[in-house]
Chain A
Amino acid sequence: MSDMKLDEDDIRDLFAATPVYGDAPVFEARVMRGLRMRLWLRQGVIVLAGVVGGLYALAQFVRVPDWTFGEKGLSSRITHAETDRTFRAGVAFFDVIGKKAVDLFYSSLHYLGIMQTPIFFWVSFSLCLACLALYYAYSQEETI
């Protein structure tokens, strides 16, 4: 067999030839899974920022002067006005749920108090700034 004399074009052709990988479908699935995961994480950060912002807004809302929450519930009056037993049982059920929710709400006043402190404001503000900075840094790093 005589020697093959390769020139530049031959080597270019060798570079263009691509081997077939046995795990190509696995790789494809892995890429798509990673992509979905990254999108979910990104949406998670947005949701987290929204929740923090929403909690902060709620905390400020509760601070409104003379604002009260359901001390005298509407449900008990409805219960007395209606006579249908099924309806009354339903209203009573929702009344209990409502009261539990109110209890929970009042028990969380402690946390609401924390949310109204300047430290919470700065923590949430810093978190939002960090999110923005991360997005900016990421977009700069990945610029093509």
Chain B
Amino acid sequence: MGLASDKPDLTRQSDVDLVRLCLGGDKSAFAELVRRHGSLLRTHIRRMGAQGADADDMAQEAFMSAYEHLSEFRFDGAFVGWLKRIASRRYLKRVRANQKYLLTDDMSPFEPEPAASEGEFRAHNLDAALNRLKPVERLCVTLNFSGDLSHQEIADELRLPLGTVKSHIKRAMDQLKTILNAKPAPALETGT
């Protein structure tokens, strides 16, 4: 029988256990949390509207911020939800500072291209569908569905009226359903 290792197998630990290990000073436990949730967080930030390298930078900052405030995690919800909330707030802060257009009421720059309206856009792909939404609709629906924020929380974060947020989410959902329900392209005949 081999000697039992003092170090627990981190891949088998729950998020809560990993957070407790981190609070005890185990940095490798945090590395495991990054490994476990890195892709999820990067996707969440991209779906809100951030682009490639910028999204990764924000995901990195969100992780570092989470590490520094780990003692504030109250264990009353999923760790990944808390992480997404940190990332969302960071993204919104940057959006408010740099991209005033996001919260504009002028819809004309975001009208869908005519070619896409009749089922030409066939990708059953959420990310491609999100790209076709107005930025503010995309943000609202992502915060609601991916960030698990309530309508009221989104309204507070975006400093928009609750009714406006609800209508953004409804419109986004209608568009997503339309886009994602579009008939896929017929399979190419390859012969048998």
Contact = CB atoms under 8 A, between A and B. Distances in A.
Interface of A: 1, 3-8, 11-12, 14-21, 24-25, 27-28, 30-32, 34-35, 38, 142-144
Contact of A32 (B34, B86, B177, B183): B34
10 contacts: A1-B183, A4-B124, A7-B177, A19-B39, A19-B43, A20-B39, A25-B35, A30-B56, A31-B64, A144-B85
B39 A11 contact: no
B56 A144 contact: no
Nearest to B82: A144
B143 to A, nearest CB: 11
Given A6-B180, A15-B126, A144-B85, A21 B34 contact: no
A18 B39 contact: yes
A142 B39 contact: no
A5 B40 CA distance: 26
Contact of A15 (B30, B39, B47, B89): B47
A15 B181 contact: no
B19 to A, nearest CB: 14
Given A18-B40, A32-B27, A35-B27, 6 more contacts: A11-B126, A11-B176, A17-B126, A27-B60, A31-B34, A31-B60
Interface string B29-42: 01100110011101
B181 A3 contact: yes
Interface residues of B, number: 38
Residue from B27, B35, B173 whose CB has the most chain A CB atoms within 10 Å: B35
Contacts of B39: 18-21, 24
Interface in B50-81: 56, 59-60, 63-65, 67-69, 72
B133 to A, nearest CB: 12
B72 A1 contact: no
Interface in B133-192: 142, 145-146, 173, 176-177, 180-181, 183-184, 186
Contact of A31 (B40, B63, B86, B142): B63
B91 to A, nearest CB: 14
Given A12-B145, A15-B47, A35-B64, A21 B42 contact: yes
